[in-house]
Amino acid sequence: MTASRLSFQLSGQRALVTGSASGIGLATASLLARSGARVAMNDLAEERLQHEVALLQSEGLEVVALPGDLSQSVMATQVALSAAERFGGLDYLINNAGAPLTRTPIPPADLDRLTDDFWDRILRINLLSAFWMTQALSSVLLESQGCVVNTVSEAAFGGGASSTAYATAKAGLAGLTRELARGLAPKVRVNGIAPGLVNSPWECSFGDTEAYAKQHVPLARVGQPGDYAEVIAYLCAGATYITGEVILVNGGSQL
């Protein structure tokens, strides 16, 4: 893997990254903080979140923990407003929180496992949380002329996800990204990334992803959290004429 040559100068910028106790969210929060931004980190896994925040703080980075369950609109709003209050505003909102809610993929033909409760929980955390967070922070982001980046999924464009419900929620998030870009223009940009395979502690196991990637992904490897964080940071720090787009970041797996 070729090392990144990108660097970002984000001194004075303020960010909130959800789902940031591990994986893409943690890599993104770390990259933004190391680039000079003040970062609020949110996750449902409070103990793990506090541990990661403490490690980053020990390096002298300006990060704070804001644990909370974003699948509940009241809590999502509370976390969002707490971040804005803590920093006196906000420049970047990274809606990364998401979960498959299954340890093994649910086959598309197995409709009986897609219960009302499963659908409700999937939609709340993978789709509605991004709306609630953006809604709560819309005035703050308009004031700072900031940006929003949503973590979608390549499953939104081609299936093959942990479940039909998850793929549908992420397709909805891609649509929400476009509509929020319309609604918050011209002052706020709203974009997304659609990750492919990720080397992270994901709840749902897809088997030997490294072997799969070597055979089916043109770049012949599984994506690392930093690969995705780099694109998110670019959409925050630059890309000033891009909005309403969801960028596939998957090593070419859908070519």
Active site residue 166: yes
Which of these is catalytic: 92, 166, 212, 228? Answer: 166
Query: Mind listing the pLDDT tens digit for each residue in 232-244?
Result: 999 999 999 999 9
Residue 2: pLDDT band (50, 70, 90) is: low
How far is the C-alpha of 149 from the C-alpha of 246, rounded, in Å?
9
Mutual angle of helices 164-184 and 129-144, in 10-degree steps: 20
Query: Mind listing the pLDDT tens digit for each residue in 83-119?
Result: 999 999 999 999 999 999 998 999 999 999 999 999 9
Residue 4: pLDDT band (50, 70, 90) is: confident
The pLDDT score that the predictor gives to residue 68 is 97
> Beta strands 63-65 and 14-17: pairing type?
unpaired
Q: 14-249, superfamily in CATH? A: NAD(P)-binding Rossmann-like Domain (3.40.50.720)
How far is the C-alpha of 105 from the C-alpha of 162, rounded, in Å?
4
Could you tell me the pTM of the whole model? 0.96
How far is the C-alpha of 230 from the C-alpha of 199, rounded, in Å?
15
The chain-wide mean pLDDT, for the chain, equals 95
Does residue 150 have a pLDDT over 70?
yes
Residue 81 tokens read as 């407003």
- Residue ranges covered by each domain of the chain: 14-249
How far is the C-alpha of 242 from the C-alpha of 194, rounded, in Å?
15
Query: Mind listing the pLDDT tens digit for each residue in 173-231?
Result: 999 999 999 999 999 999 999 999 999 887 878 888 899 889 989 999 999 999 999 99
